[in-house]
Amino acid sequence: MVERGSDLLDGRVVVITGGGAGIGRATAELFARNGATLVVADVDEEANQATAAAVADLGAQSLAVTVDVSREVDIERMIVATEAEFGRVDVLFNNAGIMLADDADAVSAEDDAIDKTFDVNIKGVLYGCKYGIPALRRAGGGSIINTASFVASVGAATPQIAYTASKGAVLSMTRELAVIHARENIRVNALSPGPLRTELLMSYLDTDEKKQRRLVHVPMGRFGEAAEMAQSALFLASDMSSYMTGANLQVDGGLTAAYVTPE
C-alpha cells in the first residue's frame, strides 16, 4: 500500500466522476495523500461534498461539482470549473456508473433500464473524454482512466445485459482513444474491477444466493474492496504506468484468469 506523504501525484489536478462513494471516494482520499489537487464530481451533492471535505481534511485542495454525467452540459461545466479554479486538468478518472436492479437478460430487459444504463455508463465516459481530452492537451498531456468491469471480458452470472454491454463499450472506447491520442502524450487505460464489496454491487446482489453465485467464480473467494481499486487507479494515474496505454487493468481476484482463454 502507498503510504501518506508520497508525491506520486504532486502538483497534478485530478477530476474524478462518481466521487461521492465507493471507488471514487476511496480514490479521492488516496490521491489526496499522494499530493493531488482533487475535483470530485457526483450526482449526489451531499455525498460529493462529504468527499471534498474528507480530501480537504487530508490537506489537499479540492472542489466539489454536482454533475449528472449523462448530461453533456454538466460534463462541460465540470471541466470549465476545474480549469477556472486550478488552471489545468492532468488526470481524468471517468468512474461514475450505475447498475440497476431492473436490469435483466435480453428477453426481459426494459427500455428504461437500458437507456438509463447506457446514458450514464457509456455517454458519461464519452462526454468526459469529449471535454477532458482538450483540457489534457492544454496541460501538455496526462492520463485518462475509464472504469470498465470484469463483465466486459466475461459474461455475468446474474443477468444484467445493459450493464455488461455498457462496460464492453467502455473498454472498446478506451482502446480507440488510446491509439488516437498516443502521440499527444495522453494515455487512456481501463480499470476493470472484479466483484466489489461496495454499496453499488451489494444493493444489486441483494440475496445470499446472488452473492454466492458471484463468489463461486472468484479464485480468491472474496469480494474486492474499493481501496484496492484506488491503489490500481493510482498506478494508472501516475508515472509508474508511463509506457502503458490502451490497456485493460483487470483487478478481479483472478476471475478473468480462470475463465478467459487468450486469443
Exposure of 86 in the CB half-sphere (CA atoms within 13 A): 24
Q: Looking at residue 208, what is its pLDDT? A: 74
Q: Which residues are catalytic?
A: 163
**Domains of the chain, first to last:** 13-255 (3.40.50.720)
pLDDT in tens, 75-107: 999 999 999 999 999 999 999 999 898 999 999
159: cell is 443477468
Q: Looking at residue 47, what is its pLDDT? A: 97
Q: Looking at residue 201, what is its pLDDT? A: 72
227: cell is 481501496
Q: How many whole angstroms separate alpha carbon 127 and alpha carbon 122?
A: 9
Q: Looking at residue 261, what is its pLDDT? A: 65
169: cell is 463499450
Exposure of 231 in the CB half-sphere (CA atoms within 13 A): 11
Query: Which residue ranges in the chain fall short of pLDDT 50?
Result: 1-4
Q: Looking at residue 171, what is its pLDDT? A: 98
